[in-house]
Structure 1
């Protein structure tokens, strides 16, 4: 088996000791020929895999977080407008080495890199693979038509509002050399929540799942996700759509009002308090596509990476998009 392992030497969450432990676990796979390469700048990982075929390489192993996964997925599949077929590109495997690591953990891998490498070695030994759905997003103009920029992939979540603002705050802290710890994410979330209650966003949502549709104007909180959970705060899963998975369409979660005690109850809903925010919660599962619009420009995020300020986006769910190793 031919494998390309990609790691980022500039990541603060990776260490020489961690990588030695990962290599040791992977060497337990018989006849594994492992090529290790380092990414040195944004987009480099995507460049390394953009022309790879399964005839040349059986598996690409991403050592990193959800942003690294997003970059490699985009490199492997190319443009969502004309993607490469899943069976023609290498199988994707992930060793979680980021902050939340939603993609790897939602697939069933342990959070610790060495443990995840051990699990991956077993998956490769017994050929435990599955084909999953992925999401795409594209910015729309005022006329509802797609902007000239290419559509892009996302693997775990995307959206306007609180999540994008939290990521922006954490990115500012990281730029100052501070680690993106679960506690820092929690603090940024609580601060963002407090600001949003004073000046709540107004998000319009239009979604379709078969014969079902969702039409909503002026929601104050909206999350869109490709799997369950939506994210993790350390060991704690943050659940928006419990029935969501990589085998179904997009999940939409929202709150019509985040003010008052009911609004705080809505925040607790994300941690399992499902009965406290009745009447304000929006849940829509298995969506084929979702359109989100905001007045003016607001921050938008995909897979934990800030994509700048946008006004109107369309998300789609793409079936049988990518083959992955999964326990």
Structure 2
């Protein structure tokens, strides 16, 4: 069988007709290369009864345009080669405006992700390896055996997110990292930590004042005024620093509700400990024995309203969304069907020596 080189041909067709899959490649993702594609594509080519269409994105938002309005009558599966930004675009394109009734997952193509971005949070939180070659071999077996699951997604205003969203420190860090990348520097874990340290110093001098109102799945209400740090997450871990998973809420997962993590005061030792919790240090809260960490947790939220008296940066799935004064978040259960292996081990279940080992690897 002759296969056209996918590196130079923007659209190809291979295989049989039983399973129709659209593969979307983001050529600008961090680790994307011709050499990598030559390792990634053969395991998919080897899947029997798979008809694969390959397309490349050409501009920001292109993946969202490609999948908009697609149903399972068009494709059984959408495979994404890219990072969390490409995943976010595809989710928003498939599901449309979050202000309208979301389509049933059975009517949408299933979703699969091969990680070629910088953090690749969603696919790694689903249990895949960060190595795209390892991930594609696992994905090929899952497709052959048709092993998939439905997951919850979050919404912010009329948009969707898969992993996290928030005002304050995390949004400021992402905006600064974007500036660093525009200057030609790579977004390494060490650089994230350095940018975070500077953002934390600025936040101490002029902390945001985030007001939170939330309702859980069972009707429990939660409110907090003028928190300087607030993160809403859809899974645990909510991000990665290189090999190091970063988690906050131990009950959080793709199976139910949003989790909120906040720091009520970032001054003094207690505030520093609280922010360290946000970025994955001390997952078992051992440091709380030495100082009262000013942190709050709220799990299984179905709806959340975040507001600020003045505009502050807001981020969703690692993408800066500008400065806003109010955002309404919702959790939508069983929103999309994804191919995924068994759940990854949560950060709080890792042994101390593993955490120390990975911190050393980050530096």
- Cα deviation for residue 240 of structure 1 reads 1.1
Correspondence 1:1-327 to 2 at 5 A: 1-82=19-100, 83-138=102-157, 151-209=158-216, 210-269=218-277, 270-271=280-281, 272-277=283-288, 278=292, 280-327=294-341
Q: Does the Cα contact within 8 Å between 1:265 and 1:273 map onto a contact in 2? A: no
Q: 2-side partners of 1:208 and 1:117: how far apart?
A: 39
TM-score of the superposition, structure 2-length normalised? 0.84
TM-score of the superposition, structure 1-length normalised? 0.93
- Cα deviation for residue 279 of structure 1 reads 5.0
Change (3 A) 1:245 1:226: same
Q: Specify the SS of the correspondent of 2:27.
A: coil
Q: Does the Cα contact within 8 Å between 1:266 and 1:276 map onto a contact in 2? A: no
Q: Does the Cα contact within 8 Å between 1:77 and 1:85 map onto a contact in 2? A: no
Q: 2-side partners of 1:297 and 1:268: how far apart?
A: 25
Q: 2-side partners of 1:306 and 1:196: how far apart?
A: 17
Q: Deviations over 1:208-250 (max 9, x none)?
A: 1123111110112111001111111011111111110010100
- Cα deviation for residue 260 of structure 1 reads 1.1
Structure 1: stretches of 5+ with no match in the other structure: 139-150
Q: Specify the SS of the correspondent of 2:155.
A: strand
Q: 2-side partners of 1:262 and 1:295: how far apart?
A: 25
Q: 2-side partners of 1:326 and 1:11: how far apart?
A: 21
Q: 1-side partners of 2:325 and 2:266: how far apart?
A: 21
- Structure showing greater Rg: 2
Q: Does the Cα contact within 8 Å between 2:30 and 2:118 map onto a contact in 1? A: no
Aligned residues: 315
- Cα deviation for residue 191 of structure 1 reads 1.3
Q: 1-side partners of 2:224 and 2:286: how far apart?
A: 22
Q: Does the Cα contact within 8 Å between 1:231 and 1:239 map onto a contact in 2? A: yes
Q: Specify the SS of the correspondent of 1:293.
A: strand
Q: 2-side partners of 1:283 and 1:50: how far apart?
A: 36
Q: Specify the SS of the correspondent of 2:327.
A: strand
Q: 2-side partners of 1:48 and 1:211: how far apart?
A: 38
Q: Specify the SS of the correspondent of 1:288.
A: strand
The structure 1 segments of at least 4 consecutive aligned residues displaced by more than 4 Å after TM superposition are none
Q: 2-side partners of 1:294 and 1:158: how far apart?
A: 15
Q: 1-side partners of 2:31 and 2:202: how far apart?
A: 30
- Cα deviation for residue 273 of structure 1 reads 4.8
- Cα deviation for residue 200 of structure 1 reads 1.4
